[in-house]
Chains A and B, each alone.
Chain A
Amino acid sequence: MLQLERKKEENKDILRLIGEVDASNSILLDQSIQEILEQGATVLLIDGTELEYISSAGLGVFMSYLDDFSERGIRFAIFGLNEQVNEVFKILGLDRLIAIAPDLSTATRLTHES
């Protein structure tokens, strides 16, 4: 089960992922990010505090947008990942390609600096 919640805080678009992202629902994550981009986001933060699981299908969605983000100057970070999910990002070395922060305020600071 995956639930997606969007909110806007000042210039930040925050997408909260609740539950599990796998091959059956990664399309929903893809669509949400696409919509946010189409509406002209400048800062996109993924709130992973309630993300329990993510497979390569979901990781691949993030990876497929990394070039887009840098071309359009969109600042992107993921925050609040639990230990297990964070470890999955690290196995692949994604923590070197994506800004990963412990919490919203750190993520906000990271995206301001970049």
Chain B
Amino acid sequence: MKNIFFGFVIGATTLAACNDSNNKVAENKNDNRDTAQVKAQAGSSTATTATVAEVKGTTSIKEIVTTYLQLKNAFTKDNSNDAASAGTSLQTAFKNFDKIALTAPQEKLFEEVADDASEHAEHIGKNGGNIVHQREHFIMLSKDMADLIKTLGNGGQTLYKDFCPMANDGKGAIWISETKDIKNPYLGKAMPTCGTLKEEIK
């Protein structure tokens, strides 16, 4: 029993001693936090661009569009789990996108869209079972996709930009479809044909 007790006393003292030096490091960190934070930000943004530029991507706009359409079709069927797996695939497609052929302004737009759209795709991927939350992100993701297609093209297939006036709490929302017939991803089976065709993207 005595041994156990002494073990703890020694253990606690060591911990306290270790912690002392940790605190000092922490304090130093706090002092430099402002500069460190700025540096970290600058560092991380250059780091991402550097890695992406070095490694040749494997996906094209065609894969991104196809995966988005899978996601859209899962929503038209109210299938939250299929939407989740398509969301995760879409996140990967954005991550592995090959930017070699892009012009500078195209790349700038892609970076901005991908930064936002990947986060929506991630949320959709992680919220299988919560289709309400998934669809909130799908509204913003669809806007990103429309802007991306406008700049990078449709990936070789005719697409349609549709509008649902009832989605987004009555403020309306767009989506991209591969079929001329309306199949509403926001209302699903409840109102499958609600919506209007806004634009044909050839």
- A-B interaction: no
